Amino acid sequence: MREIVLDTETTGFEPENGDRVVEIGAVELANHMPTGRTFHKYINPERSMPQDAFEVHGLGDDFLRGQPLFRDVAQEFLEFVQDAKLVIHNAAFDMKFLNAELGWLKMPLLPWEQAVDTLALARRKFPGSPASLDALCRRFAIDNSTRTLHGALLDSEILAEVYLELIGGRQPDFALSAMHHSGDNKKGAEADWRPHPRPVPLPSRLTEAEAAAHADFVAGMGDDALWKGLT
């Protein structure tokens, strides 16, 4: 199973008001394990950066002016994503911006059902608790000390760790994956596997003094004691 953990940075909150994507970061997972493949682009938004947005991610006009436009990276982005599930924290925000950018270029949009929202997952799993990325890092003891500013690729890498914890811990399907890749000729044997008795029983850890004390205790319980039949 292929998944893409994804994050964006933008100039603001509403593409309909002229806000644009300025950074895309994505990390590829295969069977819930990072493959090492990533996608990362800074993007020239063709507009000035509002101060409040700059304070969030630190991407200013001078830096972004020399970056490619969204239309220059859109096809590469779609080819990287393909039909993989998109794991996104607050997916509605990022999907809204990405589809706005793609729509302006008359390119295929990302289906909403392709997204997995980790914010919604966290709220279902921990109702009433903080569900921000930083809060989830604290909950799962994930090191996010390098996250002084928001950054799409760094946040995607951190989110990948958070996501694996949310769905049940790292390598949640390790045993199933191992069986799946072990070869068709072994599947039946592994499915029917049962533990065998030890060839030599383990020695008792009960001392003679402890055994005698137990026998005396049971004797004092009377002839009808249930323990009489178990000694």
Residue 150 annotated to the active site: yes
Strands 2-10 and 21-30: antiparallel
Cα–Cα distance measured from residue 203 to residue 199, given in angstroms and rounded to the nearest whole number: 12
57, 150, 180, 214: the active-site residue: 150
CB contact at 8 A, 20 and 70: yes
Going across the sheet that includes 115-117, the strands are 33-42, 21-30, 2-10, 85-88, 115-117
Strands 85-88 and 115-117: parallel
State the burial class of residue 82 (Cβ atoms within 10 Å of its Cβ: 0-12, 13-18, 19+).
exposed
CB atoms < 10 A from the CB of 12, how many? 17
- DSSP designation for 51: H
Which residues lie across from 87 on neighbouring strands?
5, 116
CB contact at 8 A, 7 and 159: yes
Residues annotated catalytic, as ranges: 150
